[in-house]
Amino acid sequence: AAGALILFFLDSSWALVLGGVILMVGYLLGTSVLGAELRDQTPEEKAGSLQGVRMVFAVLLPMIIGSNVSLLVFQQPGLDAYGEPTKIPDHWMFLVTAASCLLALAPASWLFLTRKRAEAQEKPQ
């Protein structure tokens, strides 16, 4: 979310590089943690059986949802490479990106807290 906010509010070259790096590092770390956690929670005899599910939720759904949300957010009309009318991306997409990151934190926080409570109850006192 921090990288997206930098990209939304600042437009100098160094800010674009910094915001882009922060945004991509966050994305790559998030998907890496998701994949590792899924693998850790998968029983040994079922290893690999849920990787397709991970790909659906980490790649397919964000591509479908993101492209449709972007059509709602983009305001500038323009022409594509073939001369067809289309909407041109603008800086508002970064604010939507930050909002979606913050929305994703709600279930992630709930999962983290639920797991910590379960671990605390399992530990013998």
CB 88 within 8 A of CB 99: no
User: CA 17 → CA 10, 21, 43, 54, distances in Å?
Assistant: 11, 6, 41, 29
- pLDDT of 125 reads 63
Q: How many other C-beta atoms are found inside a 10 Å radius of the C-beta of residue 2? A: 13
Q: Which residue has the higher pLDDT, 65 or 38?
A: 65
Mean pLDDT of the region 54-81: 87
Is the pLDDT at 124 greater than 80? The verdict is no
Domain ranges of the chain: 2-122
Is the pLDDT at 50 greater than 80? The verdict is no
- pLDDT of 29 reads 92
Mean model confidence pLDDT for the chain: 87
Phi, psi of 86 (to 5 degrees): -155, 175
Tens-place pLDDT, residues 76-123: 888 888 999 888 888 888 899 899 889 988 888 898 899 889 888 887
Report the alpha-carbon angle 102-105-109, nearest 5. Answer: 150
Is the pLDDT at 18 greater than 80? The verdict is yes
Dist CA 62 CA 31 (whole Å): 12
Mean pLDDT of the region 43-62: 83
Question: Which parts of 27-99 are beta strand (E)?
Answer: 76-79, 85-88
- pLDDT of 76 reads 84
Pairing of strands 85-88, 76-79: antiparallel
Q: What is the pTM of this model?
A: 0.72
Dist CA 45 CA 4 (whole Å): 40
